[in-house]
Structure 1
Amino acid sequence: MPKSVLFIAALVCQVPALAQQTPKKPLDHSVYDRWESVVNPKISNNGKFVLYQVKPQQGDGTLYIKTAGNRQLAQIGRGDSAAFSADSRFVAFSIKPPYALVRQARIKKKKPDDMPKDSLGVYALETGKLTKYANVKSWQLAEKAAVLAFLGNKPVLKDAKPKAPADTLKKLTDGLLDANKAGAPLTVLNLPAGSSREFAAVTDYQISKPGNRVAFAVLAPKGSQDVQSGLYAFDVPGGSLRKLSSGKGTYKNLAFDEAGKQLAFAAEKHPEKALVKPFSLYYTNFAIDSAAIILRPGDKTLKANWSPSGFGKIQFSDNGEKLFFGTAPDPIPQDTSLVEFEHAKLDIWNYKDDYLQPTQLKNLKKDLQRNYLAVLYPKRGNLFIQLEDEYLRESFLAENTNAEYVLALTDTAKRIAAQWEGAARRQAFLVSTTTGQRVAINPQALKSRFQLSPNGDYALWYDDAAKAWFSFAAATRRTTNLTGQLPVSFTDEENDSPTDPEPYGVAAWTKNDGAVLVYDRYDIWKINPKTGAAVNFTNGLGRAGKLTFRYRIPVEKKKFIEPKDELLLLAQNTETKQWGYYRKAIAGTKAPQLVAIGPVSYSPLMQAKNAGTLLYTKSSVSQPADVYVSTDLRKETKLSAINAQQQDYNWFTAELVHWTTPQGHKATGVLYKPENFDPAKKYPLISYFYEKLSDGIYRYQAPAPTPSRLDIAMFASNGYLVFTPDISYTVGEPGPSAVEYVNSGVEALKKNPWVDGAHLGIQGQSWGGYQVAYLITQTNLYAAAWAGAPVVNMTSAYGGIRWESGVSRQFQYERTQSRIGGTLWEKTDAYLRNSPLFSLPKVQTPVVIMANDADGAVPWYQGIEMFTDLRRLGKPVWLLQYNGEAHNLLKRENRKDISIRELQFFDHYLKGAPAPVWLEKGVPAVEKGRNWGLEPAKGAGM
């Protein structure tokens, strides 16, 4: 063979090897849209079928329907919001319009009625038949039957092409095609029977849990001879239709009992121009042809000038004996004599107000719709009992709604102090649903979170002062200290805020309220709420092995633990940060048995209602959260395989790092390295921090446009080391605490030859943004810094407003995250000492600030103060203000923009890349929207 042929043959043989050695690409900003995630996985009641959606970050998703053994039954483009029928025979789902079509409609600025509409799909699991219904506004699937109801969209005038005289067209315009008021077609499908019925001009509907009836409201078109306004009920098995209430009006809150044998609703039938339109409460047991008013405005049983509310939830008790609903004062009629442009517009702030004016305005709609829980007994002569009122206006039903008592809370006369305490102190009561009697649980108002046991036999709460969990028995009215004598703390042992530590919480209750499972830091305790008798359910294995055990009931809508249940306990090793599961029977005495544990993250388990099959997602640093099915978590079947493109890109690894701070504290953080890390090279390092992040070391982090945090995947893939140190705080010293942990962690890493100590960066958002601002006033260690939504002046921020909620910021500084631990006048020096603003002359680090004009958490002017003062001092500083944006960016286009700028900024200062125009020269207002300044500036460099 000639040598030339041998040489060519050798090259051919080497091609596969060369292909394998081709370097992986670094991630870039073009990858975001197609990166996928699994959404809404579900398992059928019989455990034989699974569904899930795979959605790209932007674009069209896909619905997958499979057997639990991973045999694919259907793959449906744009399938969304899917659900199994109760009999495990059908799947119902929305079909979204194509993303490209919606995008074009938005470009053309089409009105909402003209936008592309959803469709509805129904897939038969036994036959594989797929049926689609176009132009669907909403749908409901019966909870306990394969009965489906869906509402179409309202008719639109321009879609109609009537061949009729002008007067006929006018009638259509005046009546049927009134897009704001017209109803739409309602279709009811009995899926096993294969039958359907359609009804016209429906405005609202409700299907019963057993699927035996569908109630719906009709608003008839003007002049219609065939359709009449009213409230109707359709008998699904029998096919009969019954009118329950006649006349045009507003019908709301349609509610069936559990058996679908009773129906209640609120309705008002006042003239359209009436200034006040109070509701009446209607009821039927279907023994007669119509629904009757059982409570109307002005009834003597109601408080004067009160009526049934049109906004309160209507709900039957489980046994159908009680009807819960809301009542409210009649609305104040609007004064029509006032001319809008002739009267003043102002907000009046009064120091005696329970809530600040911004809070009141933020809650205005909710307050206008506020209603107060009442109960009525339709089978006992409509006996009526008011349970709530203006004093006692928050209540909770037991999971067993047959229970005699509801738990009710009041913070009346305690609300003002929430301005600086963060939450109002409350008193709790048990209110009898049979007599209305109120039984006080705690004589002194507490900041506790009270809860009612599933069966309604006990109230449970944690008392900060006594440092113990308590129960209150409804039957005996006895208070029992459940944990005061136990040898462990049930509140956050690592609390570093100047407030009472939060309790670890409650896992679940056993059947008939026999026991409650309560968390300490590591273990779960099983406690008798009547006697306080307690055992360490996890046998002390948690504290001994530094394992944190937690539990959530995996079966949807199951409210308590059965005596024979075997629990799968989620566990994390607090030292290695690995996650896994242990198994233990609720009645067992042996220690929990290890099932699986490793460097992975699990979603909460979902278990089939009538089978032992488990559904969950599992991920790691390098493996996306894919869907798995198993019966024991040992032998598992992987159903999805998303983000195959990841293998083409340079990914990253994660490892725990430990060091000792200057004050001798043991510290932990996570170091992310590029997948192609070479210890012979030097890498720039960026520190990103927000309190403690190490528990998430094994969480999959997809590349995604950032709301303003650091995109770890993007930076690691592009040759950066990313360090996320955990920070513990000293009260009164939040700034120095960040210095203690962040700087010492960076200094420890600098000792490695592969860390480029001359090119270090820091990035933080919100609380992290504050820490970035503080750090650069204390050290010149960093070559570049990025502070998102920072507070720099605690003295001015202290009395400000969190506009997203309308509450004062004082509590944050005195009690919670900002950790000063006192008022501005009590601890003036601490406020000044921890405010970066007063040390800005020390700053030598180039810094970008993001501060948005619609930030509802941090005052926008904080970023402005930082920018204008650094500018005044001649320091290199930039401010990005995204118009109309929130504390964290919400609009995807803005997230993409900041992601590009963030990488450009750090590339320039930490890698020597050319500066972009926005960084070097800026973008004048006259070029806004025309020039983004992202291209390299001419002649730009370090």
Structure 2
Amino acid sequence: MNNYFKIFVTVCSVFSIAQAQEKPPLTMEAFDSWKSIGYNAISKSGKYVYYTVNAQEGDAYTELKDQNNNLLLHVARGVSPKLSKDERFLVNTVKPFYKETRDAKIKKKKPNEMPQDSLVFFDIQTKQSTKLGPIKSWKAAREIDSYIAFSQELEVKGKADTTKADTSITKAPAKKTSAKKELVVILYNLRTKDTLQFWKAENFYFDDNEKYFVYNIKGAEKDSTKTPGLYVYNLQDKKVKKIYDGKATFQNITFSDASDKLAFVVDTSSAKALLKMPSIYQYDFKAESAKELISKNTAGIPNNWYIPTSTNLSFSASGNRLFFGIAPIPKVKDTTLVEFEHAKVDIWHWQDELLMTQQLASLPLLKNKTYRAVYHFAENKLVPLANLEFENVSLTENADEEWGLTSYTSLENKIARQWSYGTRSDIYVVSLNNGNRQLVRRDFLGNTALSPKATHVLLFDKENQNWYAYNISTKTTACLTCNLNVTFGNEDNDSPALPQSYGIAGWSNDHKGVYLYDKYDLWYVDFDGKTPKNITQSAGRNNKIRFRLISFSSNKPRSMTTYLDPKKVVLLSSFNENDKQNGIFKLEIAKNKAPKEIIQSQHVYKRISADENQTIFTYSRENYQESTNLFVSKDFVKATQLTDINPQQKQYNWGTAELVRWKTPKGYDAEGILYKPENFDPNKKYPIIAYFYEVLSDGLYNYHEPAPTPSRLMIPYFVSNGYLVFAPDIRYEIGHPGKSAEEYINSGMRYLAKNSWVDSTKMGIQGQSWGGYQVTHLITSTNMYAAAWAGAPVVNMTSAYGGIRWQTGMSRQFQYEKTQSRLGATLWEKPELYLENSPLFNMDKVTTPVAIMHNDNDGAVPWYQGIEMFTALRRLQKPVWLLNYNGDGHNLMERQNRKDIQRRQAQFFDHFLKGKPAADWIKKGVPAVNKGIDWGFNITD
């Protein structure tokens, strides 16, 4: 090879490498191509994995694979997959094309004209797919065996003879009539592909064991036949039986676990009736028909109480008890009054349990509130368990034990919820046999739990940060943690509220004790408190690793309670506070050894599931540079990647995430995350934006999917487009949240500004909600920032203190006295703290251009806070902009609004931090007459 050719090849190679490295930055148009993992599961045998991949704008899909990553099925637009219990059939809802639905919305089609879902089921044995639909809805048993059912509209070709009960399971007769469509329910056998059509059926249900199919026929208003009623179709003997005859509304169709009992609510009231008086019916599958079990006249129902239509029904595991809700008979509106002649007024009373705003916000819940009662089948006895004083009763998972857990809260303490965080109550257990109550603890502030066999009540006392166990049979209490040298409440709590517990990990399988978390480790304690044991051998605390139990979901009924068997191996998730790595450890409790590391890496592991024997695992893995994907493995070390949902990320200039540590002016150790562009050049100067809330550094290895922002800073977009982004942690001094933000954020930015590659003249800040408050405080205390963006900020703690969180109707007082705002006192106790921490009173000091987003339907921070800030700065002739996305909330929910604010954020920071020309909305705004015509995005002279 001659020298000229060598030089030519070398130059070309260097040019090719340079070209390859010059990736374009992320664009907002690219967001739509990003996908995310939706539902995912592994079969009980471990042979199959199935999952859904969702698109931001576009069509989802479902895939079925074997454990060797062989693709068995791809369902375009498939969602909500469900696998049969013998792992032969996979059933999928198939959504219409995204574009088709969008076009229909543009054309303003009526609901019944909109594109409809369909169904696809795949036979894994024969590898054949069958499509069914279009459908309105579909159902199946908890575990599919052979049947599914769906409703769809079919053309009525004739009028069915409805004089016999069993004719409701025939195909529509062939007599020709008009091409009218009617909703029909179709029972479909996946194995034989046989169908049964249930005409005039309204609602339909399977029992969990796929023994029975229940449906009701509504019947026309003037139908005089006996067709209307509730029917049971026996899926084994293929026979139908009418169990309730007549027109009625049927609700809460509920089966016992063994499928030997059925309960339901029957309402025969007129549709126009202002007060409906339903009854509860029960059907024994050996009987000919259902019988009324409970009505408002049943012995045990208090006077002037009844069974509302909102009642919930549930059987105990044995089927020997039926739980339901009762309520006082409400007053009804006098329809003879002329509405326009009477006032519409809300009357607030100082002794109301709830503020009027809370009452109005939760009106549907209050109207439908019920109080738990139980019916004992063996004794034919009804026992009310709750009432107006003892409002709620918690049961064990099986609900077959003698005791439930309840509490009494005085009116004084209920009213105090307005400003307190946590409510003092008297704790009781209540006998399910006779309704008698037994006092556990008076004036208690903390958390409670009923043991799975209802032998003990666990209590975490917030005031002394210890766990206690109350023995129901002996009426004695033992302290479980008093003699241990660690606290079981939040060690990092920096708010005036008492610390919360780290929680319960699970229960011993012999029902003699409980497993508890401290900050790092797991402990086992007998209910008598005599044998506390650190089962992770203090390995968590010694190594600053937080261990948490990985529990695997089960499709079995009543399987939500977590039990630990010391003879079995358990898996723990881990988080290392020193390097922020995550991992998975193995713990063999019986061996009395520390957890053994399986894997620890610079990733985050989520969605961990396992086969029935916990020998094959699926999980997702991610970090800032790696998009979230699914893996399958037998040991978490050698893993097979199942998905690669965002390969397009490699085409763009992405970024890196690194941990930064520094000392604050007061000498505190501080941490934060610094995000840099993938093509970072230390010889250049970069603008930098600080984004913050409270503590973010634990998310060092989290993936950030590029998507239009709900109002926060979309980190990947700005990093890809040549910004540094800094996410500092903030630790708070009670009473001084604003100064705490200064202590950590400003010092962190100054620390980074010492680097030659940081342009200290082009530093910006962005925060939403509590972060937005901190933005507004910082721009009143320093002029170091060239641009600021505040989303839904509080600027005046004196007016916000008496404000309302409109979504719930709650007073905001608790937030300032006890929680996030961290002032720790009332406005009249320490007004100086409210003034110190209210940026509004220092707006004259602002020199930073600031954009505010605050929406008129904000349910958390009253939007007048944004208005107070805007009008103050406007009066002072400071550069300020206010964005109000009409009808949207605290965080933007509408995608079109998210796209809009994403674009405006980019234009705002590009102008003030990069010197790009200002868009029209920045230069001159958008007047109301141009709303919806001109959005102000253009850049004009």
Same fold (TM over 0.5): yes
Superposed displacement of residue 34, structure 1:
1.2
Report the counterpart of residue 31 of structure 1 in structure 2.
30
Structure 2 CA distance for aligned equivalents of residues 192 and 107 of structure 1: 41
Show structure 1 runs of 5+ residues with no match.
Answer: 164-175
Could you report, residue by residue, the CA deviation over 1:878-915 in whole angstroms, capped at 9, with x for unpaired residues?
A: 11111001000000000000000001100111111110
Kindly report which structure 2 residues correspond to 1:447-466, keeping only aligned pairs within 5 A, or say none: 448-466=446-464
Q: Which amino acid aligns with 2:457?
A: A
Report the counterpart of residue 73 of structure 2 in structure 1.
74
Report the counterpart of residue 511 of structure 1 in structure 2.
509
Query: Which of 734, 737, 741 is equivalent to 2:744?
Result: 741
8 A contact 2:148–2:190 mirrored in 1: no
8 A contact 2:664–2:670 mirrored in 1: yes
Report the counterpart of residue 485 of structure 1 in structure 2.
483
1:762 matched to 2:760? The reply is no
1:661 matched to 2:690? The reply is no
Query: Which of 678, 683, 701 is equivalent to 1:680?
Result: 683
8 A contact 1:553–1:561 mirrored in 2: no
Structure 2 CA distance for aligned equivalents of residues 313 and 722 of structure 1: 50
Query: Which of 376, 383, 386 is equivalent to 2:384?
Result: 386
Structure 2 CA distance for aligned equivalents of residues 821 and 79 of structure 1: 51
Structure 2 CA distance for aligned equivalents of residues 151 and 930 of structure 1: 45
Structure 2 CA distance for aligned equivalents of residues 910 and 626 of structure 1: 35
Superposed displacement of residue 122, structure 1:
1.5
Kindly report which structure 2 residues correspond to 1:539-688, keeping only aligned pairs within 5 A, or say none: 539-556=537-554, 557=559, 559=561, 560-688=563-691
Q: Which amino acid aligns with 2:434?
A: T
Superposed displacement of residue 270, structure 1:
2.5
Structure 1 CA distance for aligned equivalents of residues 785 and 157 of structure 2: 69
Secondary structure in structure 1 of the residue aligned to 2:136: strand
Kindly report which structure 2 residues correspond to 1:128-527, keeping only aligned pairs within 5 A, or say none: 128-153=127-152, 184-192=183-191, 194-221=193-220, 228-380=227-379, 382-413=380-411, 414-446=413-445, 448-527=446-525
Structure 2 CA distance for aligned equivalents of residues 342 and 647 of structure 1: 68
1:932 matched to 2:931? The reply is no
Q: Which amino acid aligns with 2:495?
A: S
Structure 1 CA distance for aligned equivalents of residues 114 and 859 of structure 2: 31
Q: Which amino acid aligns with 1:262?
A: K
8 A contact 1:188–1:198 mirrored in 2: yes
Structure 2 CA distance for aligned equivalents of residues 815 and 223 of structure 1: 61
Secondary structure in structure 1 of the residue aligned to 2:564: coil
8 A contact 1:555–1:608 mirrored in 2: no
8 A contact 1:508–1:552 mirrored in 2: no
Report the counterpart of residue 123 of structure 1 in structure 2.
122
Report the counterpart of residue 832 of structure 1 in structure 2.
835
Report the counterpart of residue 884 of structure 1 in structure 2.
887
Q: Which amino acid aligns with 1:487?
A: N
8 A contact 2:397–2:560 mirrored in 1: no
Secondary structure in structure 2 of the residue aligned to 1:878: strand
Structure 2 CA distance for aligned equivalents of residues 842 and 300 of structure 1: 72
8 A contact 2:517–2:523 mirrored in 1: yes
1:798 matched to 2:797? The reply is no
Kindly report which structure 2 residues correspond to 1:679-828, keeping only aligned pairs within 5 A, or say none: 679-828=682-831
Superposed displacement of residue 431, structure 1:
1.3
Structure 1 CA distance for aligned equivalents of residues 460 and 825 of structure 2: 24
Superposed displacement of residue 587, structure 1:
2.9
Could you report, residue by residue, the CA deviation over 1:264-322 in whole angstroms, capped at 9, with x for unpaired residues?
A: 11111123443322111101111211000011222232111222332122111111111
8 A contact 2:226–2:245 mirrored in 1: no
Secondary structure in structure 1 of the residue aligned to 2:404: strand
TM-score normalised per structure 1: 0.94
Superposed displacement of residue 936, structure 1:
1.2
8 A contact 2:421–2:497 mirrored in 1: no
Superposed displacement of residue 226, structure 1:
8.4
Superposed displacement of residue 11, structure 1:
9.7
8 A contact 2:152–2:185 mirrored in 1: no
Structure 2 CA distance for aligned equivalents of residues 205 and 476 of structure 1: 48
How many residue pairs match? The answer is 918
8 A contact 1:45–1:611 mirrored in 2: no
Report the counterpart of residue 902 of structure 1 in structure 2.
905
Query: Which of 526, 529, 539 is equivalent to 1:528?
Result: 526
1:83 matched to 2:87? The reply is no
Q: Which amino acid aligns with 1:515?
A: G
Structure-2 change in CA distance of 1:737 and 1:7 (3 Å): closer
Structure 2 CA distance for aligned equivalents of residues 370 and 558 of structure 1: 25
Superposed displacement of residue 391, structure 1:
1.1
8 A contact 1:470–1:481 mirrored in 2: yes
Q: Which amino acid aligns with 1:63?
A: T
Structure 1 CA distance for aligned equivalents of residues 280 and 578 of structure 2: 58
Superposed displacement of residue 626, structure 1:
0.5
Superposed displacement of residue 110, structure 1:
1.8
Structure-2 change in CA distance of 1:275 and 1:701 (3 Å): closer
Superposed displacement of residue 535, structure 1:
0.5
Q: Which amino acid aligns with 2:900?
A: D
The alignment's C-alpha RMSD in Å is 2.4
Report the counterpart of residue 162 of structure 2 in structure 1.
none
Report the counterpart of residue 919 of structure 1 in structure 2.
922
Secondary structure in structure 1 of the residue aligned to 2:591: coil
Structure-2 change in CA distance of 1:850 and 1:13 (3 Å): closer
8 A contact 1:278–1:330 mirrored in 2: no
Structure-2 change in CA distance of 1:160 and 1:843 (3 Å): farther
8 A contact 1:136–1:150 mirrored in 2: no
Structure 2 CA distance for aligned equivalents of residues 8 and 677 of structure 1: 29
Could you report, residue by residue, the CA deviation over 1:737-769 in whole angstroms, capped at 9, with x for unpaired residues?
A: 000000000010011111011100000000000
Structure-2 change in CA distance of 1:183 and 1:410 (3 Å): farther
Structure-2 change in CA distance of 1:192 and 1:258 (3 Å): farther
Show structure 2 runs of 5+ residues with no match.
Answer: 160-176
Structure 2 CA distance for aligned equivalents of residues 476 and 749 of structure 1: 62
1:844 matched to 2:847? The reply is yes
Structure 2 CA distance for aligned equivalents of residues 676 and 2 of structure 1: 35
Query: Which of 863, 881, 888 is equivalent to 1:860?
Result: 863
8 A contact 1:792–1:862 mirrored in 2: yes
8 A contact 2:444–2:461 mirrored in 1: no
Superposed displacement of residue 476, structure 1:
2.6
Structure 1 CA distance for aligned equivalents of residues 795 and 902 of structure 2: 24
Superposed displacement of residue 475, structure 1:
2.9
Answer with 190-199 or 312-321: which moved more: 190-199
Structure-2 change in CA distance of 1:455 and 1:616 (3 Å): farther
Structure 2 CA distance for aligned equivalents of residues 53 and 279 of structure 1: 41
Secondary structure in structure 2 of the residue aligned to 1:603: strand
Q: Which amino acid aligns with 1:313?
A: N
Structure 1 CA distance for aligned equivalents of residues 297 and 651 of structure 2: 72
Secondary structure in structure 2 of the residue aligned to 1:513: coil
Structure 1 CA distance for aligned equivalents of residues 183 and 619 of structure 2: 39
Structure 2 CA distance for aligned equivalents of residues 186 and 480 of structure 1: 57
Structure 2 CA distance for aligned equivalents of residues 373 and 63 of structure 1: 41
Structure 1 CA distance for aligned equivalents of residues 197 and 18 of structure 2: 61
Could you report, residue by residue, the CA deviation over 1:661-695 in whole angstroms, capped at 9, with x for unpaired residues?
A: 01110000000000110111110110000000001
Could you report, residue by residue, the CA deviation over 1:203-253 in whole angstroms, capped at 9, with x for unpaired residues?
A: 222211111112222212356698811111111111111111011111110
Q: Which amino acid aligns with 2:527?
A: P
